[in-house]
Amino acid sequence: MTARLAAALAMGLVFGLGLSLSGMLDPARVQGFLDVTGAWDPTLMFVLGGAVTVALAGFALARRLPQPVLDARFDLPTNRRIDAPLLGGAALFGIGWGLSGLCPGPAVAALSTGAPPILVFVPAMLVGMAAFRLVQARRG
C-alpha cells in the first residue's frame, strides 16, 4: 500500500469515526437541526464549527508549506465565480440533504449501519452522480 493510499484510508477512518461519535450518521439528527420551528437540535452546528476550525487551520498551514508531504503540490480551489450551476447545485444539494438528512460523506459512513434507508440512498446517489457525468459528457 502506498503512503498516499494509507493516508487517505486513515483520514477516511478518522472522518467516519468523527461522524459516528457525533451522531451525524443519524438522519434525524440533521433534520432536527433544520427544524428551527420545532424540536431544534443544535448538535450539527457544533460539528460544523469543529470542522470549519480544523479546515481553517489546514488552509493556514497549506499557505506556509512549500508542498504537501505526500504530493507535489496543493490542489486548492481557484474558481471564485458564483454562477447558475453553482447556485442550482447548492439548492438541489440542500433540498436533498434537508429531505433525507443525508449527504454523501455521512451516507457512505452510515453504510456500516446496514439501515435500509441508507442502503437505498447510496445507490440512488451513485446513479445520480453517473447520470450527471453522462449528461455533462454529452454536452461536450
Q: Is the dihedral of CA 7, 10, 16, 18 positive or negative?
A: negative
Whole-number pLDDT of residue 101? 87
C-alpha cell at 34: 433544520
In terms of Cα–Cα distance, which of 41, 18, 17, 19 is closest to 30? 41
Distance CA 16, CA 10 (A): 10
Number of domains in the chain: 1
**pTM exceeding 0.85:** no
Q: How far is CA 26 from CA 6, 18, 60, in A?
A: 28, 13, 32
Tens-level pLDDT at each residue, the chain (140 residues): 799 999 999 999 998 898 888 888 888 888 898 888 988 999 989 989 999 999 999 989 988 999 998 988 888 888 899 999 899 999 999 998 888 888 898 899 899 889 999 999 999 999 999 999 999 899 87
Would you say how long the chain is, in residues?
140
Distance CA 108, CA 105 (A): 5
